[in-house]
A and B are shown apart, each in its own frame.
Chain A
Amino acid sequence: EAQVTQNPRYLITVTGKKLTVTCSQNMNHEYMSWYRQDPGLGLRQIYYSMNVEVTDKGDVPEGYKVSRKEKRNFPLILESPSPNQTSLYFCASIHSTGRINTGELFFGEGSRLTVL
């Protein structure tokens, strides 16, 4: 089954304790992206990657890092989490070759992060 898998799905942590949210897709997609969703603000793009070793900032990249060492994985790293990073996080992917104008993203099920 084609899917985007995120882990953990739920996490409560404390300020300053480094954490990583993993994202893996089994569809051989080139493009992957991270969003965060907050009440009243909709979904906002954090980082995106157009292929292995190619990453770039989205709208709200501060406080986050990403890496793309393999095509299937795109982890989101919070080096020193703060309470304002409490949010619902979504990873998304799409097969981009020859379909540069499409917005048919596949989203993961979400990771709810609470930073105390």
Chain B
Amino acid sequence: DAKTTQPPSMDCAEGRAANLPCNHSTISGNEYVYWYRQIHSQGPQYIIHGLKNNETNEMASLIITEDRKSSTLILPHATLRDTAVYYCIVPKNMDTGRRALTFGSGTRLQVQP
């Protein structure tokens, strides 16, 4: 997978927007950016993905810079239940069918009451 860089930890106040950055400067033109989160030791949960346009769903928004070298995951109104490790992933070779996602260290988001 393309290398991604995320801050190891972030804090956010409950009710405020949480903005989680990810650097993926070696991304190729046809590679998507995926975001997952893992709450404690539960199974990772898919959040959102995008190629070049900004994306929004019921969980979050994804802003990808024009040069695609970085992106930001936005949780618009963070709650205590959003406390988790957030992973930014740029998987390679998804068209081979293997679909192996590389989960690095991620960002540990702590939402404070």
Residues in A whose Cβ lies below 8 Å from that of B104: 42
In the bound complex, do residue A110 and residue B105 qualify as a contact, i.e. CB atoms below 8 Å apart? no
Residues in A whose Cβ lies below 8 Å from that of B21: none
Report, as a range, how many residues of chain A touch the other chain: 20 to 34
Q: Is the interface of A mostly helix, strand, loop or mixed?
A: strand
CA–CA, A14 to B95, complex, Å? 40
Report, as a range, how many residues of chain B touch the other chain: 20 to 34
Enumerate B25-52 residues with CB–CB distance to A below 8 Å. 32, 34, 41-46, 49
* A-B interface contact total, Cβ < 8 Å: 67
Closest chain A CB from B87 CB (angstroms): 8
Is B89 part of the contact surface with A, judged by Cβ < 8 Å?
yes
Closest chain A CB from B34 CB (angstroms): 5
Is A96 part of the contact surface with B, judged by Cβ < 8 Å?
yes
Residues in A whose Cβ lies below 8 Å from that of B81: none
Contact residues of B with A, CB < 8 Å?
32, 34, 41-46, 49, 89, 91, 94-95, 97-105
